[in-house]
Structure 1
Amino acid sequence: MDKQLSAGRSGRRHAGDEDQITAQAVIVERIFAHLDPEWRGNLEESLSPDRRWTGHRLLAVGAKATIAADSEIRVKLGDNGPQISASALHPWAWEGARSLWQSGHFREAVTAAARKINAETQNKLGRRDISEIKLFQDALSTNQPAAGRSKLRIVRDDGGDTFKSVQRGVMAFAEGCFAAIRNPNSHEDGLPELPENEALEQLSAFSLLARWVDGATVETAS
């Protein structure tokens, strides 16, 4: 990485032509953004053509050191617990949030994921008459399905306590996701941007809801 972005100093020359280096710069800039969203403020620009990539090279050296030492640092500091990768979340959550997330609009990204999960749930049930909290309340109730009111069964309906408990629990979870996360994110003006780690926790909640819905069976009126 640092070879291809090396600047012309102390006898060094660029490794590769301008197009190759520019293509590599696009990749390393994504790495910089992942490690430090404010990386451009630390970039040392140069007006000299043969030193154009000096700033990128210096940042690349630091990025390589950070990545190489990250695992050891977390072990030494006792911070080597499991980590969540946004791309490993349920596709309904991540694909709905991806573009906004990558541009740093975390609160809007969570809201977009909520809309995607609501839409996929409607598609699965074949319903457009209700949405969000009312949709999940109706779909997850233990009542028998009626015409135009199909039900989601997270586990098999055997009439037992486990079935009732799971349905009630997922319903309450869905209500909480939309009432406590989606609605404030969408309806409150002037809210500050969510910290990325808090937004990831919210996105994970919707991912779990998506997995339950995606794996559920649909029961229709006979």
Structure 2
Amino acid sequence: MTRIADAEWAICQLDRFIELTTLRGVDRLFGIRERRRKDEILELYYIVEKIFSHVDPRWQSKRSIHLDRRWEPDREMAIQIRTRILKEEDTKEKLGDNSPRLSAGSLHPWVWDGARSLWQSGHFREAVTAAAKQVNAEAQNKLGRRDVSETALFNSAFSTDGPKPGQPRLRLAADDGSDTFRSIQRGARSFAEGCYAGIRNPNSHEVMLGDIPEHEALEHLAAFSILARWIDNSSVKFS
């Protein structure tokens, strides 16, 4: 379960949704009240869906089906999600878990923008692959290159050699010829190769093995976020 920053707020939204979608008896003002109730439900449902997806990306596949009751499946899901949030908060309080937590939304925008849609639908392996492609595309755009990609692109971009025609370089630090400069460039080049050779390529070839756990996918995204930030912060040197 992905941690919710403000659990109390989420519980309040779910409580209101559960209350509004509970069937009521009919009174003389039923028509007016029912219209207002439906309007509020529709407005609130936008937020509730976001909470569902945040807590459980696969929530849509777990909904029950009630053909005669429009909101009953979502009401039941709201109750389930509410229970999960409460139990998570209670467990955290009892165990005293105050360790640092990583939110996907805090990753570099290139990574999360590339992964978001697939991640929210529960396709974690594919989300990592999409993020890797996005980082590669942004690097190509920054360097103005389409002739190479991924490992070959970054081996060239982070080379300690001077730029050549058609082969600009990314510089994380000023090229002063020092050991520090060479170490930084070598580290970035090796890290980029590790991301694509060790994460992106296996993910593409092992798709038939099924998905990977959410926490493992988040670790992979974090690796690409580091690379994306280095690329974004680098200056480009042309010949």
Place the TM-score, normalised by the shorter chain, in its bin: 0.7 to 0.9
Q: 1:209 to 1:62 in 2, by over 3 A?
A: same
* 1:182 equivalent among 188, 196, 200: 200
Show structure 2 runs of 5+ residues with no match.
Answer: 1-15, 28-32
Contact 2:53 2:120 in 1 (8 A): no
CA shift, 1:53, in A, is 3.9
Q: Of residues 209, 212, 234 in structure 2, which corresponds to 1:191?
A: 209
Supply the distance in 2 between the matched residues of 1:103 and 1:42 (Cα, whole angstroms). 12
Q: Is 2:142 the partner of 1:133? A: no
Report what 1:34 is aligned to. Answer: 54
Matched, 1:96 2:114: yes
Q: Is the 8 A contact 2:57 2:121 kept in 1?
A: no
Kept in 2: contact 1:107–1:193 (CA 8 A): yes
- Please tell me whether residue 22 in structure 1 is matched to residue 38 in structure 2: no
Equivalent residue pairs, number: 217
* Preserved contact between residue 93 and residue 114 of structure 1 (Cα < 8 Å): yes
From 20, 42, 47, the counterpart of 1:4: 20
TM-score, length of structure 1 as denominator length:
0.84
Q: For each residue in 1:17-62, what CA deviation from the matched residue of structure 2 results, as whole angstroms up to 9, or x when unmatched?
A: 324323423432332343234546765655665xx54554454345
Give the RMSD, CA atoms, in angstroms. 2.6
Q: Distance in 1 between matches of 2:110 and 2:104?
A: 12
Moved more, 152-161 or 78-87: 78-87
**Compared CA separation, residues 158 and 191, structure 1 to 2 (3 A):** same
CA offsets per residue over residues 99-121 of structure 1, 9 Å max, x none?
11111111111111111111111
Task: Indicate the SS of the match to 1:144.
Answer: coil
CA distance in 1 between counterparts of 2:200 and 2:42 reads: 40
Per the alignment, residue 143 of structure 1 pairs with 161
SS at 2:174 equivalent: coil
Q: Is this contact kept in 2: 1:3–1:15, CA < 8 A?
A: no
Q: Are residues 1:210 and 2:228 paired?
A: yes
Name the amino acid aligned to 1:34.
Answer: H
Sort the Cα spacing of 1:46 and 1:7 in 2 relative to 1 into closer, same or farther, 3 A: farther
Equivalent residue letter for 1:202: H
**Residue 116 (structure 1) aligned to one of 134, 138, 147:** 134
Residue in structure 2 matched with residue 160 of structure 1 by the alignment: 178
Q: Could you tell me how far apart the structure 2 residues matched to 1:129 and 1:3 are?
A: 58
Q: What TM-score, normalized by structure 2, do the two folds share?
A: 0.79
Q: Point out 4+ residue stretches in structure 1 off by more than 6 angstroms.
A: none
> What CA distance in whole angstroms lies between the structure 2 residues aligned with 1:139 and 1:20?
53
Give 3-state SS (helix, strand or coil) of 1:203's partner: helix
By how many angstroms is 1:185 displaced? 1.2
Letter in 1 for 2:202: P
Matches of 1:185 and 1:86, distance apart in 2 = 19
The runs of 5 or more residues in structure 1 that have no matched partner are none
